[in-house]
Amino acid sequence: MKAKHLRNRWLGLLPLGLILFLSGCGQLEMTVLDPKGPVAESQYDLIVYSLWFMLGIIVVVFALFAYMLIKYRENRPGRKESDYDPNLHGNTTIEVVWTVIPFIIVILLSIPTVTTLYDLEKPPEPEAGEEAKDPLVVYATTADWKWFFSYPEQDIETVNYLHIPTDRPIEFRLTSADSMSALWIPALGGQKYNMAGMMTKLYLEADEEGTYDGRNSNFNGEGFAAQTFKVHAESEEEFNTWAEEVKNEAPELTAERYDELLQPGLTDKESFSSTHLEYVQHHTKEGMGYVVENYREQFKKKLHLYEIEEQESFQ
Amino acid sequence: MHITDILVTGEPIIYGAMVSMALVGIALFFLLTYFKKWGWLWREWLTTVDHKKIGVMYILSALLMLFRGGVDAMMMRVQLAFPDLGFLNSQHYNEIFTTHGTIMIIFMAMPFLIGLMNIIVPLQIGARDFAFPYLNALSFWSFFFGMALFNISFVIGGSPDAGWTSYTPLSGAAMSPGPGQNFYLMGLQLSGIGTLATGINLMVTILKMRAPGMKLFHMPIFTWSTLVTCFIIVFAFPILTVALALLTIDRIFGSQFFTLTGEGLPMMWANLFWMWGHPEVYIVILPAFGIFSEVIATFAKKRLFGYNVMVWSMIVIALLSFLVWVHHFFTMGAGAFVNSVFSISTMLIAVPTGVKIFNWLATLYKSKIEFTVPMLWSLAFIPSFILGGVTGVMLGMAAADYQFHNSYFLIAHFHYVLIAGTVFACFAGLVFWYPKMFGHKMNERLGKWAFWLFFFGFHVCFFPQYFLGLDGMPRRLFITNVVEWLPLNVISTVGAFGMGLGFIVFVYNVYYSFRYSERETTGDSWNGNGRTLEWATTTPVPYYNFATVPYVDEIDPYVRMKEEGKTTFEESKVKPIHMPSYTGQPFIMMAFLGLASFGLVFEWMYVAVFGLLGGVVMMIRRSFDYDDGYYVPVEEIKRTEKKARGL
């Protein structure tokens, strides 16, 4: 009686997991599984590809597991003498089989992983029939706990928000003025670290217009949760209009103003008609200690955040 | 300096904790005094070098830390399910997830397993104690004072708040001023001495003190897992020691190894940390595999399937564990080639692990499964761990990891492997060997309640977190301020409380069983199904373990011993047994080093130097210590054995 009770619970796990999983996929529209650009798309493809293998493994193991528990429990009615072999301790054939199969799975998973890894180091390929565009270069610099996006081509800079044209690769040049952070826009693709004294490159691209959520995904202290930004993906014309508007209307980013903004703390969105790039080179050995040297005292203050304004939903 | 500069002030939760800690302290003091137990505490516990008692102290400390780490977890879950309450602010939350992670890994998982190893490994190989019993006591006290130091941080000085990974430059002196981060460094450093010493100690014990005839490939699988783990400890822990020392020198003496200034290399910390940190993961999972293997074979009443393959797969896992550390930071931009190499080495670990899973399933084939509580924990491990394992492979695919990294997908994954692996194993092992330790079993009915509550709580808590990760929720976020994330967070919190409830039932069961469980009369507690030497000893195990050590030339020697009617007491062969003397020196030495560490935390150099000198004096004293132990006379052995065996 007890064992039967048990069996039902074990079996109950399988459909429960599946239901949860399917409802999860269907209703929540999870950002990572709803890609809005070719980079996120390639990662999505890889995830789904691997998911099939994983589901296969889960089904096989769960089935074997359930079979063993049901068939070989001690007090199963109708157990036969032949159902017990206490000295059975090996079988070379089957052991070779279950070593080789995982090996094959690893090989099958490795191939697309490696090719995708190499692809992600380059700007995404244009769709068939379209000509390749030069990537738009955006310097994404973090300082505790804000984002600076510098557009050298347009000679403008934004704080805590980002505009990008659709269907054109964006080449993010990531660096940090102080703590290590990471640029993550899940709808557009995976993240990479921003590190002081270094510059990392991350290619992303949006192929649908919309507003996406971006954030620092690497914990870097008290203001971490507030270090987010919105990504406005719009057509090339709209983007150019916006850039011109900022260029014409926004104030210049002076060295003094930039220094002020670098102080640890939270700031609102801002726009400037010039960039900080000539003032400090955070990615160089000379520039990596700039903030820490200047604002050492201010890192001692605590923010004690209790709330941060509620964010709009992910698109 | 004023007292309020040191004490953490202004947090009602912490005031509450202070008061309750003070009350518990006072209560303990009065109880010990009232029952005149101070002498007993000193003679029987603080000065012991008996591996079984040290093991019990390890496990008690680990359970206490499981409680502390669990309370941290509950507080985080409450904050995430009810963000509008304003329960925790960002700073407080950061401290809590930092202490939760550090405590669960360093002060819960490892000592729990080391405690089980302490008690069981010598019994499994027919040894009478560790190779170096004095060193074993030293190890425990170094862990104990390291743990105490780390834990007082939240009332004195403030807790560390840079995550259990303590990445630089964030954890450096510039961005994390104050004593918090020093607590982390010194707590880990102090307890790390003990772990390293235990690694060496157990390694020597296993290699040199096995019963006559017992070859390496005759050893019980838990002992094998311990041996492999010891090798990992000995190769991995020095890296942590060096990394911690460098960061300590950075913070306290102003060097620039990991700083942003002076051309420091902050990213080197991440490398050093994970060169230790990844092997560390296997330090806590391999012994778990060993425990499951023992429990499953015992309650399947069958030999473990593929013993040799099990051993070799552990060795392969141990080797690979040193070759995968970069997968913790694929996103650092090391380039496609580096990431490809580490991606493949990471996925390769799935092969030996998968083989182990199939071997356990094959052990169940043609067996007679008995659903005891330890077996339930072990069986539940298989499907749960598979979910953690396959998502681990997904995380190992570097290109996809760019999306999973730093998200709740990762959180779900490592809780699936660490809880379903390590924590389930700790419970399975503790319940399984409980009669060996305390002379009575844990109540089965309460045990099953604890199991099912914890098991369902665990899945309800962590399964939704995979989806939170896929929806872009990053880890270490103190507030759920995206509406879509809230429902799954609430579900997760419900599950967490289920686990908490399971733990409470488990602890109650300890008390209940102490009061009401039947006392064991035989050593072979599980219906005579014991297979290895620990079950051949009497219950309670005499302090010398084996009156006569049997000759062993096969796996599962006790099965045949029972068939042939042999015991570990062959009266004609009893000889005087050489045993080590109890000593208070390890306790005192580590108390001094604990004081030194405390001094360093607050950068009070006089205190640090005084503590360090005290430690050195104790070491010199040890060097001139000529106490060689004593011999247990034959008469006493015979008397003890006859009484225990009812002859």
Q: Domain check: are A42 and A182 in the same one?
A: no
pLDDT score of A305: 86
pLDDT score of A27: 52
- Contact by Cβ (8 Å): A172, A190: no
- Contact by Cβ (8 Å): B96, B158: no
pLDDT score of A214: 96
Confirm or reject contact between B399 and chain A (CB < 8 A). yes
Whether the pLDDT of residue B219 is over 60: the answer is: yes
Nearest to A225 among B301, B307, B479 (CB): B479
User: What residue spans of B397-443 are helical by DSSP H?
Assistant: 398-404, 408-417, 424-438
Q: How far apart, in whole angstroms, are the C-alpha atoms of residue B213 and residue B163?
A: 48
For the residues B465-483, what does the mean pLDDT come to? 94
Q: How far apart, in whole angstroms, are the C-alpha atoms of residue B117 and residue B229?
A: 11
Q: Which chain B residues are closer than 8 Å to A46 by Cβ?
A: 397, 399-400
Confirm or reject contact between A307 and chain B (CB < 8 A). yes
Q: Domain check: are A176 and A113 in the same one?
A: no
ipTM greater than 0.90, yes or no? yes
Comparing CA positions, the residue from B312, B289, B189 lying closest to residue B239 is B189
How many structural domains does chain A have?
Answer: 2
pLDDT score of A1: 38
Q: Domain check: are A20 and A140 in the same one?
A: no
Confirm or reject contact between B263 and chain A (CB < 8 A). yes
Q: Domain check: are A67 and A32 in the same one?
A: yes
Q: Which chain B residues are closer than 8 Å to A117 by Cβ?
A: 336, 339-340, 343, 398-399
Confirm or reject contact between B386 and chain A (CB < 8 A). yes
CB < 8 Å from B in window 118-177 of A = 118, 120-121, 144, 174
Distance from CA of A158 to the nearest CA of B (A): 24
Nearest to A117 among B83, B89, B339 (CB): B339
Q: Domain check: are A279 and A218 in the same one?
A: yes
CB < 8 Å from A in window 409-468 of B = 459, 463-464, 467
pLDDT score of A315: 30
Q: How far apart, in whole angstroms, are the C-alpha atoms of residue B82 and residue B538?
A: 53
Under DSSP, is residue B256 helix (H, G, I), strand (E, B) or coil? coil
Q: Domain check: are A190 and A294 in the same one?
A: yes
Under DSSP, is residue B444 helix (H, G, I), strand (E, B) or coil? helix
pLDDT tens for residues B375-393? 999 999 999 999 999 999 9
Q: What distances in angstroms separate CA B21 from CA A309, B149, B152, B155, B451, one per listed residue?
A: 37, 14, 10, 10, 29
In a domain, A81, yes or no: no
Comparing CA positions, the residue from B206, B201, B233, B192 lying closest to residue B49 is B201
Whether the pLDDT of residue B639 is over 70: the answer is: yes
Neighbours of B482 (CB within 10 A): 20
Nearest to A50 among B263, B329, B400 (CB): B400
- Which region holds residue A163: left if phi is over 0, alpha if psi is between -120 and 50, else beta? beta
DSSP notation for B512-576 = HHHHHSPBP-SS-TTTT---SGGGGS-SSPPTTS-SSPPP--SSSHHHHHHHHT--S--GGG---
CB < 8 Å from B in window 91-120 of A = 91, 94-95, 98-99, 102-103, 105-106, 109-110, 112-114, 116-118, 120
- Residue A181 sits in which domain range? 136-300
- For B270, the token pair is 């991440």
CB < 8 Å from A in window 3-62 of B = none
In A95-155, at which residue ranges do the beta strands (DSSP E only) sit? 136-143, 146-151
Q: Domain check: are A140 and A191 in the same one?
A: yes
- For A104, the token pair is 């094959």
Comparing CA positions, the residue from A187, A219, A182, A179 lying closest to residue A202 is A182
Cα angle for residues B382, B385, B391 (degrees, 5° grid): 140
Q: Domain check: are A293 and A176 in the same one?
A: yes
Comparing CA positions, the residue from B607, B620, B609, B614 lying closest to residue B591 is B614
Q: Domain check: are A110 and A11 in the same one?
A: yes
pLDDT score of B311: 96
To probe the interface with B, which of A5, A51, A68, A309 has the most B CB atoms within 10 Å? A68
Q: Where are the domains of chain B?
A: 37-583+627-642
Each residue's pLDDT expressed in tens, for chain A with a length of 315 residues = 344 444 444 544 554 555 555 555 545 579 999 999 999 999 999 999 999 999 999 999 999 999 999 999 998 888 888 889 988 888 899 999 999 999 999 999 999 999 999 999 999 988 888 888 899 999 999 999 999 999 999 999 999 999 999 999 999 999 999 999 999 999 999 999 999 999 999 999 999 999 999 999 999 999 999 999 999 999 999 999 999 999 999 999 999 999 999 999 999 999 999 999 999 999 999 999 999 999 999 998 888 888 877 654 333
SS3 assignment for A249-273: HCCCCCHHHHHHHHCCCCCCCEEEC
| Residues contacting A256, CB < 8 A, separation 6+ | none
- Residue at a domain's end among A58, A85, A120: A120
What is the side-by-side order of every strand in the sheet holding A181-185? A161-165, A228-234, A210-216, A181-185, A189-194
- For B319, the token pair is 């080797």
Q: Is B215 exposed, middle or buried, given 0-12, 13-18 or 19+ CB atoms closer than 10 A?
A: exposed
Query: A214 forms bridges with which residues in the sheet?
Result: A229
pLDDT score of A273: 96
Q: How far apart, in whole angstroms, are the C-alpha atoms of residue A183 and residue B291?
A: 42
pLDDT tens for residues B46-91? 999 999 999 999 999 999 999 999 999 999 999 999 998 889 999 9
Q: Domain check: are A285 and A142 in the same one?
A: yes
Confirm or reject contact between B490 and chain A (CB < 8 A). no
Side chain identity at A142, as an amino acid letter?
Answer: T
CB < 8 Å from A in window 292-351 of B = 300-309, 329, 331-333, 335-336, 339-340, 343-344, 347-348, 350-351
Find tokens 């150099």 and name the residue: B605
Find tokens 């997760």 and name the residue: B492
- CATH assignment of B37-583+627-642, given 3.30.1360.170, 2.60.40.10, 1.10.357.10, 1.20.210.10? 1.20.210.10
Q: Domain check: are A110 and A165 in the same one?
A: no
Nearest to A299 among B174, B309, B398 (CB): B174
Q: Is A296–B481 a contact, with Cβ atoms under 8 angstroms apart?
A: no
pLDDT score of B406: 96
DSSP notation for B156-217 = BT----STTTT-TTTTSTTTS-SSHHHHHHHHHHHHHHHHHHHHHHHHHHHHH-PPTT--GG
Q: How far apart, in whole angstroms, are the C-alpha atoms of residue A277 and residue A253?
A: 10
CB < 8 Å from A in window 180-239 of B = none
Whole-model pTM over 0.90:
yes
Nearest to B390 among A54, A73, A299 (CB): A54
pLDDT score of A2: 42
Nearest to A30 among B163, B308, B470 (CB): B470
- For B156, the token pair is 């004195």
Confirm or reject contact between B628 and chain A (CB < 8 A). no
Whether the pLDDT of residue B395 is over 90: the answer is: yes
For the residues B115-127, what does the mean pLDDT come to? 97
pLDDT score of A311: 56
Distance from CA of B305 to the nearest CA of A (A): 4
CATH number of the domain residue A225 falls in: 2.60.40.420
DSSP B46: I
Confirm or reject contact between A27 and chain B (CB < 8 A). no
In a domain, A82, yes or no: no
Q: How far apart, in whole angstroms, are the C-alpha atoms of residue B182 and residue B365?
A: 52
To probe the interface with A, which of B298, B358, B407, B463 has the most A CB atoms within 10 Å? B358
pLDDT tens for residues B404-458? 999 999 999 999 999 999 999 999 999 999 999 999 999 999 999 999 999 999 9
Distance from CA of B11 to the nearest CA of A (A): 11
Query: B579 forms bridges with which residues in the sheet?
Result: B630
Confirm or reject contact between B158 and chain A (CB < 8 A). no
For the residues B455-463, what does the mean pLDDT come to? 97
Q: Domain check: are A162 and A283 in the same one?
A: yes
Q: How far apart, in whole angstroms, are the C-alpha atoms of residue A49 and residue A10?
A: 28
Nearest to A189 among B390, B402, B459 (CB): B402
